[in-house]
Amino acid sequence: MFSQEKYLRALLAKRLGKRPYYFESLDSTNSFIINKDWHEGAMALADIQTDGKGRSGKNWVTVPGNACFSFAVTDLDKNMLMPLNLLAGFAVTDVLRRFAPVSLKWPNDCVCGGKKICGILLETSFAGDRLEKLAVGIGINLYDRCVPKVAGIPVTSLETLGADPSGISREEIIADIITRFEELTELLKEGNIAIEETWRGYSANIGGEISVTLSGEKRIFREKGVTAEGALLALDKYGRETVINSGEIGYDFGR
Ligand code: BTN
């Protein structure tokens, strides 16, 4: 069940998420946005995704009852992509912090107590050099019964972390995340958000040891923060700064 009225009442965004689609079953809400309606305002939510997509080409298991949704964002510059990856995590974290003390593993895995509660995947399509379509896809585990079994990754849900199930509204959580994402995107466009500073309030690992897989090789770093562009800034075992860009990294969960 998904109440469009309740969702639209809660949505305070001016542009994003205004045109909701609800599916009991769909291949992937990200694919829907990229292939079917990538225009500003589109938002797709599915109870079941038969081909849900995760990062690094992995499958995302969708259990009915969770919040698995994607929305379209347009009018973007190509070099906003990396910061937007982080902003999506900030928006989710701001909303989920009403329920539990969640934080972020770079770039945007929302975690609590070393367990993953939400995954975010931004997918794009370019027209020549121009960023034409962007789908921001978010999957949040809401209830105990909906925690997927994922090999190698400890996972949790809002209810498992102690949230009262009767206070969890999928409609309001989705609406609030989109509203917050739009606010943060406006700040970014106006040059009014410093990603490096902001990250410090969200990171699960700042100053701590992180295990990073670079070109298939696992290495230990200390997280220093992020760059203004949103890349991970880490210190190697000799204290040398290393800038790690999206796509080169795989985290060990548990660290
Ligand atoms: C990750 O690997 O952590 C990212 C997972 C992103 C999953 C969401 S669920 C809604 C949207 N549709 C998809 O196919 N994937 C994203």
The pLDDT of residue 94 is 98
Looking at the CA of residue 29, tell me the nearest atom of ligand 1. Answer: 12
If you measure from the C-alpha of residue 76 to the centroid of ligand 1, how many angstroms do you get, rounded to a whole number? 21
What's the pLDDT tens digit per position in 191-205? 999 999 999 999 999
Name the residue at shortest CA distance from atom 3 of ligand 1.
119
The pLDDT of residue 102 is 97
If you measure from the C-alpha of residue 236 to the centroid of ligand 1, how many angstroms do you get, rounded to a whole number? 30
What's the pLDDT tens digit per position in 119-154? 999 999 887 777 889 999 999 999 988 887 877 789
Long-range contacts of 183-186 (CB under 8 A, 24+ apart): 184/87, 184/90, 184/91, 185/73, 185/84, 185/87
Calpha distance 236→111 (Å, rounded): 24
pLDDT at 252 over 60: no
pLDDT at 32 over 80: yes
Strand order in the sheet with 42-49: 19-26, 42-49, 67-73, 130-140, 115-127, 109-112, 103-105
The pLDDT of residue 249 is 56
The set of protein residues with a Cβ atom below 6 angstroms from ligand 1 is: 28-30, 49, 52-55, 58, 60, 68-70, 109, 119-121, 137-139
Name the phi and psi angles at 237, rounded to 5: -70, -15
pLDDT more than 90, % of the chain: 75
The SS3 call for residue 103 is: strand
- The DSSP string of 110-160 is EEETTEEEEEEEEEEEEETTEEEEEEEEEEE--SGGG----TT--B--TTT
CA dist 127 → 21, 130, 131, 180, 207 (Å): 25, 5, 6, 28, 40
pLDDT at 46 over 80: yes
Per-residue DSSP letter, 167: G
If you measure from the C-alpha of residue 60 to the centroid of ligand 1, how many angstroms do you get, rounded to a whole number? 6
Name the residue at shortest CA distance from atom 15 of ligand 1.
53
Position 248 confidence tier, pLDDT thresholds 50, 70, 90: low
Calpha distance 140→92 (Å, rounded): 9
Calpha distance 46→48 (Å, rounded): 5
What's the pLDDT tens digit per position in 166-190? 999 999 999 999 999 999 999 999 9
- Among 68, 73, 155, 177, which is best to mutate for testing ligand 1, by the most ligand atoms less than 8 A from CB? 68
Q: Which residue has the tokens 């809660």?
A: 10
The pLDDT of residue 255 is 38
